[in-house]
Amino acid sequence: MAFLFHLSPDDKALSDYIHSILGFRPKNIALYQLAFTHKSKSEESIGEYHLSNERLEYLGDAVLELIVGDYLFHTYPTQPEGFLTEMRSRIVSRVSLNKLAKKFGFDDHIKYKPVNGSTDGSFRSLGGNAFEALMGAIYLDRGFHFTQHIIVDRIIKVHIDLEQLQQTEINFKSKLLQLTQKQHKSLDFRLLDESMENHRKIYHVQIFIDGKGYAECSDYSLKRAEQIAAEKTLQMLTN
């Protein structure tokens, strides 16, 4: 494609990367550069807004929820609302998106500047945030139907095992509670902190069993953070 010759080396490298993981080349490469720019690395601002991937993340979150919800609605025509909601939550959860971002190699492309070894919510979720921002960039660059094709055909069908996801125990909190009660141990879902990220509250939860700390999780939903932390704790106990 001739337009690639007009790109800077950084832009061409990013275009090649997008093509390698999703099978297409960006039209407006600036959107994709922005999608991989964390606010800590932002060097320009417009009023109170620092040019970063935050706004794209907001848009990508909405686009991702809609497309995943639509796909599940048509894939499981006889399942109730609760099942669809739970499945969608698992697919778009911060843990799931962080895993996808790691699988796609986002770590080598996200631009960010650690602040004194910061481990706040935004740094723990760099990959997942960038993943949502990338979906927002694709939507603005190529439109809804193209984005739908990418999410469904290049991500869900290739990288997410819906059957395995469906068979996984849904209420991990309940399962962990039953296990600890059987062993006569105390179980505590402890909210370590709350912070604001992209104008949304993010919850950081850790599980303690008989006072010993186990898995941690951060998510925009307190309930989902507890469920994911419970799932990870069960995995730790099983291993």
218's enclosing H/E stretch is: strand 212-219
70 is catalytic: no
The count of other CB atoms within 10 Å of the CB of residue 83 is 14
State the amino acid at position 45 in one-letter form: S
* Angle between helix 94-104 and helix 81-92 axes, rounded to 10 deg: 40
SS3 10: helix
Catalytic residue among 54, 57, 86, 132: 132
- Judge whether 191 and 219 are in contact, CB under 8 Å: no
Catalytic residue among 61, 86, 216, 219: 61
Q: Is 34 exposed, middle or buried (0-12, 13-18, 19+ CB in 10 A)?
A: buried
CA distances from 39 to 54, 58, 69 (A): 7, 14, 29
CA angle 113, 118, 124 (to 5 degrees): 90
Q: What angle do CA 44, 46, 48 make, to 5 degrees?
A: 105
Is 216 one of the annotated active-site residues of the chain? no
Which residue, 171, 213, 172, 175, is CA-closest to 192? 213
First to last CA, the chain: 50
List, by residue number, the catalytic residues.
61, 132
